[in-house]
A = this chain, B = another copy of it.
Amino acid sequence: MSVSANNLDACVVGVDFGTLSGRALVVRVRDGAELGTAVHEYGHGVMDATLAATGEPLPPDWALQDPGDYCDVLRHAVPEAVASAGIDPAQVIGIGTDFTACTVLPALADGTPLCQVPELAGRPHAYPKLWKHHAAQPQADRINALAHERGERWIARYGGKISSEWEFAKALQLLEEDPETYQRASRWIEAADWIIWQLAGAETRNACTAGYKGIWQDGRYPSREFLAALDPRFAGFAADKLGHDIRPLGARAGALTAQAAGWTGLPGGIAVAVGNVDAHVTPPAAAAIEPGQMVAIMGTSTCHVMNGDTLAEVPGMCGVVDGGIVAGRWGFEAGQSGVGDIFAWFAEHAVPPDYTGEAARRGVSVHELLSAEAAAQPAGAHGLIALDWLNGNRSVLVDHHLSGAIVGLTLATRAPDIYRALVESTAFGTRVIMDSFRSSGVPVTELVAAGGLLKNEFVMQVYADVTRLPLSLIISEQGPALGSAIHAAVAAGAYPDVPAAAAAMGGRHEAVYRPDPASAGTYDRMYAEYLLLHDYFGRGANEVMHRLRALRDEVLRRKEDGSGEPPGGAVPAATAGLGRPERMARGGVWGGRPPEASTYGGRS
């Protein structure tokens, strides 16, 4: 408090490390005013096809990054943001960051990434594994099976399933596939913590990633016995390579080193906050950290984060962590693996030329046109129910082999009908999550939207109507960077704690959308239908989605092996030309946020 009281012009810098770039934001400490910002794209982007250092192809489902790119953000985006703010760098009293997670790397004892050790630079396993590196599924499966077999208490804190994206699965993959590099790694560290090490010159670990991604529960990691049962060589992993000094969010990690001061142009010695995660740093930016305030960061996917006063184990949540969002409270996280991604898929791959042409003619996006047309319908008029699982289901079914469905199609169904049904399906998915929280004794009383989708008024109204909750909107367009700045202000001592800083610097527009009673009544009936289908397809009554996926994989494998079906009887070979669209989904861009900013829930 003293710092800001003494200095009306004090500023902090928040840096948001996304999937493809990093953004720096200069924020005034006393009121959260956003004075300047800058973005720096990673030079290596995401390495998912080849390793840049060698040109070596990477296996499927791999996703690596180059840690030098993170430092480049400090070198470029931070000074540019300060310059664009028009302030004197001396006004800056602290810096905070947030990162994608779990993005994790092996390092030497001094923090040097193994990929920067010359003899290891050609080894893929020496590089940071990005959150969406999905090649550790076999390891995750074994971790989950063993945890249930041994009755590990922590598994219930993660809805019953550890993700292949997280620290232990990725580390076990490293050990099994490249034991030499595993041995060389003194540290296995989240990029969220590694970047702080670069700024403050000393290793720290933050409560958020330790809890959500590192299985740190009740003051400890999974036991040596558990790890040894996975692989005897893995027994010492947690004890030896992870950090055990877990610091609360908003804590001071240290002082900005001379080297980092040189990179950033900021004064040496200013406060550096401990690391954080993009989704989890957002509630303070929205000043929505009270129990019952569910913050939904809605982009290509949605991440739901909320504080609670007491521990509850909610079936199907991603995790519950003591101090995982704000120190002193239990932080709950849930997610939907496809939201804006689904709308983007539809707009790109299923909307006929009469609509796309009309959108072009009016100078609006296809989303804007479809939203307007869909909004003109009363709820229930399209006669459709969709299941929003085109990218799998994260919460509450935790099953990425589920797929999407649409029921109720007729020859009179048109694109805005399906678009509306897809939007509604994601809202029903959010309501399922809320209901799961409530039935586990965790009330949800307000929905606070952040992320790119909040600009779509139609989508927001549907969410208010479906959830029957007042829907508030975060004010900042740079929620994560503002959240990081808030933590910087606390680390600098300008506020006694994150809640105080959030109250002064963050903010939301309250209850911008309120449920319309008639629509909400119709949606109650449609939600009942959604639930019936949700449970039928998602809880084992008919595992058709799993079987169809398995059949697809089998057929495609057979085709690749050259042992596939002959093209079949009299069917002519396809006329050559239009290449088959890649089977990998492209990340959709939504609203005004940069692409990576909207990948949120999918990665944390």
Interface size on A, residues (CB 8 A): 101
Q: A409-B404, A411-B345, A542-B532 are contacts. A383–B549 as well, Cβ < 8 Å?
A: yes
> Do B356 and A558 touch across chains, with their CB atoms under 8 A apart?
no
> Do B413 and A580 touch across chains, with their CB atoms under 8 A apart?
no
> Do B513 and A569 touch across chains, with their CB atoms under 8 A apart?
yes
Q: Which of A228-236, A253-261, A384-392 contacts B (4 or more CB under 8 A)?
A: A384-392
Partner of A526, one of B373, B378, B549, B551: B551
> Do A465 and B568 touch across chains, with their CB atoms under 8 A apart?
yes
User: What 0/1 pattern do residues 397 to 423 of A give for CB contact below 8 A with B?
Assistant: 000000111111111111110100000
> Do A338 and B458 touch across chains, with their CB atoms under 8 A apart?
no
Question: Once bound together, how far apart are the Cα atoms of A362 and B526, in whole Å?
Answer: 43
> Do A570 and B409 touch across chains, with their CB atoms under 8 A apart?
no
Name the residue on B nearest A529 (C-beta): B544
Q: Which of A28-36, A163-171, A302-310, A581-589 contacts B (4 or more CB under 8 A)?
A: A581-589
Contacts of A415 in B (CB 8 A): 349-350
Contacts of A341 in B (CB 8 A): 411
- A504-551 contacts to B, CB under 8 A, are 512-516, 518-519, 522, 525-526, 529, 532-533, 536-537, 542, 544-545, 547-549, 551
Q: Which of A103-111, A323-331, A559-567 contacts B (4 or more CB under 8 A)?
A: A559-567
Q: How far, in Å, is A111 (CB) from chain B's closest CB?
A: 37
> Do A569 and B375 touch across chains, with their CB atoms under 8 A apart?
no
Q: A556 on the interface (CB 8 Å rule)?
A: yes
> Do A378 and B532 touch across chains, with their CB atoms under 8 A apart?
no
Name the residue on B nearest A383 (C-beta): B552
Question: Once bound together, how far apart are the Cα atoms of A355 and B548, in whole Å?
Answer: 25
> Do A532 and B516 touch across chains, with their CB atoms under 8 A apart?
no
Q: A92 on the interface (CB 8 Å rule)?
A: no
Contacts of A404 in B (CB 8 A): 408-410, 413
User: What 0/1 pattern do residues 373 to 385 of A give for CB contact below 8 A with B?
Assistant: 1011011111111
Contacts of A409 in B (CB 8 A): 390, 403-406
Q: A457 on the interface (CB 8 Å rule)?
A: yes
Question: Once bound together, how far apart are the Cα atoms of A547 and B409, in whole Å?
Answer: 13
Question: Once bound together, how far apart are the Cα atoms of A513 and B567, in whole Å?
Answer: 13
Name the residue on B nearest A553 (C-beta): B383
Q: A555 on the interface (CB 8 Å rule)?
A: yes
Name the residue on B nearest A555 (C-beta): B380
Contacts of A410 in B (CB 8 A): 390-391, 403-404, 585
Q: A238 on the interface (CB 8 Å rule)?
A: no
Q: How far, in Å, is A562 (CB) from chain B's closest CB?
A: 12
Q: How far, in Å, is A581 (CB) from chain B's closest CB?
A: 5
> Do A381 and B552 touch across chains, with their CB atoms under 8 A apart?
yes
Q: How far, in Å, is A583 (CB) from chain B's closest CB?
A: 4
Contacts of A569 in B (CB 8 A): 461, 464-465, 513-516
> Do B352 and A565 touch across chains, with their CB atoms under 8 A apart?
no
> Do A411 and B385 touch across chains, with their CB atoms under 8 A apart?
no
> Do B461 and A407 touch across chains, with their CB atoms under 8 A apart?
no
Q: A342 on the interface (CB 8 Å rule)?
A: yes
Question: Once bound together, how far apart are the Cα atoms of A198 and B565, in whole Å?
Answer: 57
> Do B551 and A383 touch across chains, with their CB atoms under 8 A apart?
yes
Question: Once bound together, how far apart are the Cα atoms of A514 and B571, in whole Å?
Answer: 11
Most buried by B among A411, A522, A551: A411
> Do A585 and B385 touch across chains, with their CB atoms under 8 A apart?
no
Q: How far, in Å, is A226 (CB) from chain B's closest CB?
A: 34
Partner of A378, one of B414, B512, B513, B558: B558
If A379-B555, A404-B410 are given as contacts, then 5 extra A-B residue pairs at C-beta distance below 8 Å, sorted by A number, are A373-B574, A408-B544, A414-B580, A465-B569, A518-B566
Q: List 30 A-B contacts (CB under 8 A).
A: A345-B411, A350-B350, A350-B351, A352-B353, A352-B356, A353-B353, A358-B577, A378-B565, A380-B548, A381-B552, A381-B559, A383-B548, A384-B548, A385-B548, A390-B411, A391-B411, A403-B409, A404-B409, A407-B544, A408-B545, A408-B548, A408-B549, A411-B585, A412-B582, A412-B583, A414-B581, A461-B568, A465-B568, A514-B569, A516-B565
Counting from the closest, the 7 A-B pairs by CB-CB distance are A411-B585, A376-B574, A404-B409, A518-B565, A383-B552, A516-B568, A380-B555
